[in-house]
Structure 1
Amino acid sequence: MNKMSFINHMDMYKFSLFFVVPLFILLLIACKSNKSMSSQQAEEIFSLNTTACMGPCPVFELSLYGDQKLVFNGKENTKIKGKKEVKLDDEQFEALLGIIQTADWANLKEEYKSTMQDLPTQNFTYNNNGVVKQVSRYGGGPASISNMSDTILTFVEEQVFAN
């Protein structure tokens, strides 16, 4: 090995020692911190948002997470105004989940429409027990979801945020 070759190898060694190795370590740390951050966020198992109509239709957004966190944002015609977050106790969580699971989510269509005018739209997202479904409802649809929005709103207003 000649002297020039040896210097080039030393330069490569120094380069990898001072730049590549620390970069690799930083990447490992970044990946680990992203993994722990994502594992801390509970999965959303249900969401519902409603749109306005010409009358007093309640307009709100609701999200329920696997860690029993409920996020509610009352926009119009609800007793609860603005965004509220709460961790449900076991009884509240099971009751709300029971209301949500009355729908046969696996067999629902993605969209239900009525020819009637001035109805609110209800957008449901369900992600639980291996069933992932998005359903949009404007008027029509099976009985299992037709009044679900009102039942959920009443439960949240009277059982969760009653005080």
Structure 2
Amino acid sequence: MKRSIYLLVILLLYSCAATKNYTQDDILLSMKKTSCYGPCPVYELKLYKNGFAKLTAEEHLDLQGDFYTKLPGSKVKALVSKFNEAGFFEMEGQYTSITKDLPTTWIYFSNEGRQKRIKDYDGAPEILRDLEKELSSLIESENWKQK
């Protein structure tokens, strides 16, 4: 009986730790994709400084709902390096055009006291598109768990 109670307490503590309420200050990288008139994937991906990641998958993805995973520190460091090497903080704040029915991508990066959010509707440089692809590849490559 004592062992059952002990295991129950551990499970409760673990589940509480997994649902920590993160704030905007905890976010390292995020990307949000909006809808279009076609089958554009709609989702928001947040990567926190501790490697915890949350995916809110809304439309046109194999996953639907809220999912969570933990990225290894080496992967988080590699992503930070790619964003720094790409000159994310030196990029324009938005890339738009008069083209209609494109999804908008909002991408955010916070590092060493600096923060920037970029709106990419159309016409973003290839280096920014590469960063977007890098983040979206996490949807397929990581072991997401639904809560």
TM-score (norm 1): 0.65
C-alpha separation in 2, matches of 1:66 and 1:100: 14
Match of 2:57 among 74, 84, 90: 74
Residue of structure 2 aligned with 1:153, choices 131, 136, 146: 136
SS across alignment from 2:140: helix
Aligned to 2:112, which of 129, 141, 145? 129
Partner of 1:18: none
* Structure 1 residue 129: Cα displacement: 2.5
Equivalent in 110, 135, 138 of residue 121 of structure 2: 138
Alignment check: 8 A CA contact 1:125 1:135 kept: yes
- Corresponding residue for 2:12? none
Q: Report how many residues are paired.
A: 125
Deviation at 1:141, TM superposition (A): 1.4
Aligned pair 1:86/2:60, yes or no? no
Q: Based on CA coordinates, which of the two structures has the bigger radius of gyration?
A: 1
> Which of residues 91, 103, 106 in structure 2 aligns to 1:120?
103
> 1:128, CA displacement in angstroms?
0.9
Identity fraction in percent: 26
Tell which deviates more after alignment, 88-97 or 119-128: 88-97
Show the counterpart of 2:38.
Answer: 55
Q: Structure 1 CA distance, aligned partners of 2:132 and 2:82?
A: 10
Q: Which amino acid aligns with 2:90?
A: N
The CA RMSD over aligned residues, in Å, is: 2.8
TM-score by length of 2: 0.71
Considering Cα pairs closer than 8 Å and 6+ residues apart, tell me whether 1 or 2 has the greater RCO.
2
Q: Aligned partners of 2:92, 2:25: CA distance in 1, in Å?
A: 27
Distance in 2 (alpha carbons) for counterparts of 1:89 and 1:124: 21
C-alpha distance in structure 2 between counterparts of 1:99 and 1:78, whole Å: 26
Q: Secondary structure at the residue paired with 1:156? A: helix
Q: Residue 69 and residue 150 in structure 1: after superposition, are their counterparts in 2 closer, same or farther (change >3 A)? A: same
The gaps in structure 1 that reach 5 residues or longer are: 1-36
Evaluate the alpha carbon distance shift between residue 56 and residue 66 of structure 1 in structure 2; reply closer, same or farther with a 3 A threshold: same
Higher helix share: 1
